[in-house]
Structure 1
């Protein structure tokens, strides 16, 4: 390592890639950040202190070797930087864009206090885009092909990460997904201004070039049963994610004009992909010209409010029952939404939806934070006689997601689930109650971050390999006897 390439955080201020002006980015769904130019990426990577205990790596679910690829970037060794970044992450170009770095790696950077963190996510994105531009990103070429096949249910980040890891070992991998494209929420749930869809499609095409076989428009339970897949494959992975919107329980919830967040985001993303979307075109799931209220404080709520702005909503209000400091969403996303004109009403919660057949307002009450609950967060409490009404033509509920009833959907009553409806697994083997059937990602841990789904996909690929290797060894011993 050259002596003058690192430790520049004292002399060099934190610098993000250029961000498009709010007025400009309100007009389209393009990504809001430009890419780093080479000199700026090297300069920001050089701010890394190369500390002995890198908290950035410790707080990354994938344990990415962040100091190493920052050092290589600072020294201009970008191909090596990509090799290091991709060694622990199947989708660095995606995580660099959508990970909440302010809560993970950057938020735990040891130089954060007084100097501000290294811009880890933007450098990660820069490294990978440079790798694609230079042809350094290649399809998987396993050293040898294996006869065993694995069926993966779900083409989201957990399923695709597992698929790639299994292909690296030479397994025949088939991915089944209910939708017409691979990517899951990366395609249908996350707006373009955070993750342009050609980035996801480029990666899924690369996996196909490496031998992963896709089966789109395949709904397990109707198109094909779980038992059918168990007959076709030597192992099956359930990586469906969680899509069922959590209900909101208050008067007026049945009025027209109230929609779950994922329905709204899917319609917008499909429109952006060029699909025919009647529910968008007829104005049902289109915020243009409407007063929009979004209920929730997570990243999905931020996606909804910023999508509504771009669709031409007259006003966009976000209601959250806690204060800004206690919201689960990325503070960076909140700041971007505020720049774009979103009105955040903190410590506010819906009391009722009002209207005659169709919603025309949300009656809210003020909240205050009381004693901490079991998780350590202060529990919100209603302030008496504090009701007020927010005018509204369209309300979007973004309160999180729960798993669907997989045993019923898959026709597999023997598939055990937890009391939350997530698939129950043995955490040592990641196998479900069905022999040879594994599960990973949100369908096990509940709704979480994409980076955790990638981690789970990588881990379960190892456990599937262990299972098949043990099975082959047992079969070999029996035949020898």
Structure 2
């Protein structure tokens, strides 16, 4: 009977939520997609083919039970759909907004492969959870009983917050330490509002705070508080710092004013959206208004930077990437959004240096071509000799990715094992590090990765920490 409401992909075409007009949306930092109406969400959910082997679920890092909550949405049973959605995902409304569904669940949808157009899974997930918040279906976190054990979490990003959620539900006492003045990590300060409006993040932080999670903010571990002191205060510790050390362009003139790091630029913009005083923004140092902007890089951070510059009123915005469109790591959906908003992509280019002395005036651009594949199978860019030119620029944003900070050195714990890339060595199942009772998750283990992977790591690590706490308690009782 239930399947009569499903399998509509033959008669119902794929529709995504309406996008606000590019000219309108590029004037503000509000999210660009409108909400599905209830009828449209049910209609689009009904296109699911209810596969026996759901590839959407298999390709989701959290293994969300997508076919079931699509069926419940099609049947109008939204509260049940939300319950199933949040059973595997701490932040479904965030994943619905920022996950690259085109590379994960939607990209592996069976009806997409058969030419009917994917089920719009992300938009339905966002609709379900937004509806749950509006209707009060998102319940407070109320542990059945309080436990005496205490866990310290370093980093209030998605990995740390996901672990805090699981641990508090189990009654463990949780303290989260973070260097910023607000929790959320990159969700708060790294991702622009047009992809993820900040109240969406803050309501989850408040849910955790109301559940008894203690947040110690503006706290730099290693300077304000030692790592050993945190270990001494807690029965177990989770490292979820993310990776924040920017890769710099090493080229003549790269020290000039006007050449800035992507995260500094995005953080300043996001702080303004909170109404904060931001001196570097007000002075123009981290503000694209009226400027010729060049962003270097091809990942999602570069896409965030070019689209932010448009909204700040840049005179022009160009993105340099050393490979072509087909080989760029960022979401193709984001590239399309950026192009609609007026960004120009200059493929097969890289900076060789900068002109202007103390103040940047231009980027010396070298043209590239794709040669033989590298070790990963991607074609390696090769310089075309004699084809350099100068691209005028008043603001250059470096968005070449992030590397891990030297945590053993910064924190004075040389016994914390790291890989040759500087990421923390952790067991891929339990997330345990070389230090007893210390675990690590997210980008500080994986390198720069997706929010959804950090959420999965945080949830898994929390379960492993609960087992560790139970084991140490039983040993102590003997």
* Both proteins in one fold, TM over 0.5: yes
Q: More displaced, 108-117 or 20-29? A: 108-117
Query: What is aligned with 2:274?
Result: 273
How far apart are the structure 2 equivalents of 1:395 and 1:440? Answer: 32
How far apart are the structure 1 equivalents of 2:78 and 2:343? Answer: 39
1:4-15 equivalences under 5 Å are 4-15=4-15
How far apart are the structure 2 equivalents of 1:16 and 1:414? Answer: 50
The unaligned stretches of length 5 or more in structure 2 are none
Cα offset, 1:29, TM superposition: 0.5
Cα offset, 1:472, TM superposition: 1.3
DSSP 3-state at the match of 2:47: coil
Stretches of 4+ aligned residues off by more than 6 angstroms: none
1:281-300 equivalences under 5 Å are 281-300=282-301
How far apart are the structure 1 equivalents of 2:195 and 2:146? Answer: 37
Cα offset, 1:171, TM superposition: 0.5
Contact kept, 8 Å, 2:36 with 2:127, in 1: the verdict is yes
Cα offset, 1:466, TM superposition: 1.4
DSSP 3-state at the match of 1:150: strand
Query: What is aligned with 1:427?
Result: 428
DSSP 3-state at the match of 1:395: strand
Cα offset, 1:117, TM superposition: 0.4
1:177-216 equivalences under 5 Å are 177-216=178-217
Cα offset, 1:476, TM superposition: 2.0
Contact kept, 8 Å, 2:151 with 2:174, in 1: the verdict is yes
Query: What is aligned with 2:172?
Result: 171
How far apart are the structure 2 equivalents of 1:97 and 1:224? Answer: 35
Cα offset, 1:428, TM superposition: 4.2
DSSP 3-state at the match of 2:2: coil
Q: More displaced, 132-141 or 403-412? A: 403-412
Query: What is aligned with 2:398?
Result: 397
1:57-456 equivalences under 5 Å are 57-113=57-113, 114-456=115-457
Cα offset, 1:356, TM superposition: 2.7
Task: For residues 262-311 of structure 1, give each alpha carbon's deviation from its aligned partner in whole angstroms, at most 9, with x where no partner exists.
Answer: 00000000011111100000101000000000000000000000000000
DSSP 3-state at the match of 1:381: strand
DSSP 3-state at the match of 1:236: strand
Task: For residues 383-439 of structure 1, give each alpha carbon's deviation from its aligned partner in whole angstroms, at most 9, with x where no partner exists.
Answer: 122112211110001000011111122122222211111111233432222111111
The 1:428–1:126 alpha-carbon spacing in structure 2 relative to 1, beyond 3 Å, is closer
DSSP 3-state at the match of 2:391: strand
Cα offset, 1:4, TM superposition: 2.5
How far apart are the structure 2 equivalents of 1:404 and 1:322? Answer: 27
Q: More displaced, 165-174 or 284-293? A: 165-174
How far apart are the structure 2 equivalents of 1:49 and 1:377? Answer: 34
Task: For residues 362-390 of structure 1, give each alpha carbon's deviation from its aligned partner in whole angstroms, at most 9, with x where no partner exists.
Answer: 11111111111111111111112211221
Q: More displaced, 407-416 or 184-193? A: 407-416
The unaligned stretches of length 5 or more in structure 1 are none
Query: What is aligned with 1:24?
Result: 24
Query: What is aligned with 2:472?
Result: 471
How far apart are the structure 2 equivalents of 1:323 and 1:109? Answer: 26
Task: For residues 220-251 of structure 1, give each alpha carbon's deviation from its aligned partner in whole angstroms, at most 9, with x where no partner exists.
Answer: 11221111111110001010000110121111
Task: For residues 160-184 of structure 1, give each alpha carbon's deviation from its aligned partner in whole angstroms, at most 9, with x where no partner exists.
Answer: 0000011111100111111111000
Say yes or no: does 1:2 pair with 2:2. yes
Q: More displaced, 334-343 or 109-118? A: 109-118
The 1:32–1:350 alpha-carbon spacing in structure 2 relative to 1, beyond 3 Å, is same
How far apart are the structure 2 equivalents of 1:3 and 1:215? Answer: 50
1:49-64 equivalences under 5 Å are 49-64=49-64
Query: What is aligned with 1:46?
Result: 46
Contact kept, 8 Å, 2:430 with 2:460, in 1: the verdict is no
How far apart are the structure 2 equivalents of 1:225 and 1:251? Answer: 38
Task: For residues 102-135 of structure 1, give each alpha carbon's deviation from its aligned partner in whole angstroms, at most 9, with x where no partner exists.
Answer: 1111111111131110100000000000000110
How far apart are the structure 2 equivalents of 1:222 and 1:384? Answer: 48
How far apart are the structure 1 equivalents of 2:433 and 2:441? Answer: 10
Contact kept, 8 Å, 2:253 with 2:357, in 1: the verdict is no
How far apart are the structure 1 equivalents of 2:68 and 2:428? Answer: 31
Cα offset, 1:346, TM superposition: 0.7
Q: More displaced, 205-214 or 257-266? A: 205-214
Q: More displaced, 14-23 or 208-217? A: 208-217
DSSP 3-state at the match of 2:10: coil
Q: More displaced, 463-472 or 334-343? A: 463-472
Cα offset, 1:139, TM superposition: 1.7
How far apart are the structure 1 equivalents of 2:121 and 2:184? Answer: 24
How far apart are the structure 2 equivalents of 1:201 and 1:379? Answer: 42
Using structure 2 for the length normalisation, give the TM-score: 0.98
